[in-house]
Structures are given as structure tokens and as C-alpha cells.
Amino acid sequence: MRGVRGAITVERNAAEEILAASGELLDAVVKANDIDPEDIASIIFTVTADLDACFPAKAARDKGFKYVPLLCALEINVPGSLARCIRILVHVNTDKPQRDIKHIYLKEAVRLRDDLKKD
């Protein structure tokens, strides 16, 4: 099993933006890593304290992830941290080596992992 990370930001604390961004991030993680949805063991979504308009995991349900265990949680509120950020941790049953996993950071969240630009 491997963990695949990612993050994305939204402009506003609005349900439609949170759901659209969460879906975009999930799609990007699945596509970049060629993940068969049947191989997903679980998905954890977290949000910064300024996002409470809806659960980002609803985007996964809306995409048909009916049997995948989902969890939403609130990030710790660290001064100076990135605002309006949704993070994801996808647990995937795979034989891929860790170095072949592609973590996905979109919009303002690319600042969270500058080191990945070198890969």
C-alpha cells in the first residue's frame, strides 16, 4: 500500500468551489498515478479552518466512490499557513515503488511542495 498526497486551494468558502476543487484534485491524483478506483483503500480529506461550507469527501461520493471509506478532518491552524486549502491522502493498494508515486499540488498549493518541481 502507498499513500498519495495532494492539495488544492479555493478562492471562496463556498460549497460549489470546495466540491469542484476536491473533485479536480481527486481526478488529478487518480490520473497521474494510473489508479484503478477498486485499488483505493481509503481517502482522507483535510481542510483549513476557513473552509466549512461542505465536506470535500462529498466530491468523491459524487464521483461514484461508493464503497471507499472517506474521512474529513480539520487541519491545525498554524499562523501563516496557506489559506483555503484542501488536502488529500489517498491510500492505494499498489506494488509501485514509493519513488514512482506522483503527489499532486494545484493552484496556490504548489507552494507547499516546491521540492516536487525538480522531479
Residue 111 among the catalytic residues? no
Q: Which residues contact 113 (CB under 8 A, 6 or more apart)?
A: 103, 105
Determine which one of 84, 105, 108, 111 is catalytic. 105
Catalytic residue among 2, 17, 54, 87: 87
Active site residue 16: no
| Among 11, 24, 72, 99, the one annotated catalytic | 72
CB atoms within 10 A of CB 5: 18
Neighbouring CB atoms inside 10 A of 66's CB total: 8
Rounded CA gap, 84 and 18, in Å? Answer: 9
Q: Among this protein's residues, is 72 annotated catalytic?
A: yes
Decide if 99 is catalytic. Answer: no
- Indicate if 105 belongs to the active site: yes
Active-site residue, selected from the candidate residues 2, 5, 54, 85:
5
Among 11, 16, 61, 111, the active-site one is 61
5 belongs to the catalytic site:
yes
Asked about 85 being catalytic, the answer comes back as no
**What's the count of helices (H) and strands (E) in the chain, helices before strands?**
2, 5
Active site residues: 5, 61, 72, 75, 87, 105, 113
